[in-house]
Amino acid sequence: MTTFLGFDFGTAKIGVAVGQSITGTATPLVTLRTVQQHPDWRRIGELIATWQPAELVVGLPCDIDGRETDIAAPAKRFARQLEGRYRLQVHMVDERLTSMEARRHLRRRPRNIEELDAIAAGLILETWFSIAVSQPSE
């Protein structure tokens, strides 16, 4: 069983989820606030040490037409920083509509709005699993 961490990057908050490739499912963990406009690397490092993921997945912000949004460049930078800091392979996956779907999850059961980004991170990770499973092995 391979563990992955998924990230929903934002300039103010970063949602984090954990998932297993064998089940293709993810569980929201936490929404981290940025620290002086930078990712909370201390907390991210703690999560990586705790969960010991084999790989990481970061959502690539795209609009409804599939074009990258303005936040895509900072998300790509975050992905490169994750890879450089933790020496783990980082995948990026189109996160189109994950925030909208996360809002639907919040409406179904009473939850704190802070969980929105962590729920979105879980959806990003599950999207990655569905794509990775459908790709032929090399």
Angle at 4 between CA 116 and CA 129, to 5 degrees: 80
E strands in 25-112:
25-33, 55-60, 89-94
pLDDT at 105 over 80: no
| Mean pLDDT, the chain, integer | 87
Q: Which pTM was predicted? A: 0.86
Q: Which residue has the higher pLDDT, 69 or 97?
A: 69
Looking at per-residue pLDDT, the higher value among 135 and 131 belongs to 131
Give 113's pLDDT tier (boundaries 50, 70, 90). low
Q: How many domains does one find in the chain?
A: 1
The CATH number of whichever domain residue 119 belongs to comes to 3.30.420.140
- Do the Cβ atoms of 47 and 16 come closer than 8 Å? yes
pLDDT at 42: 97
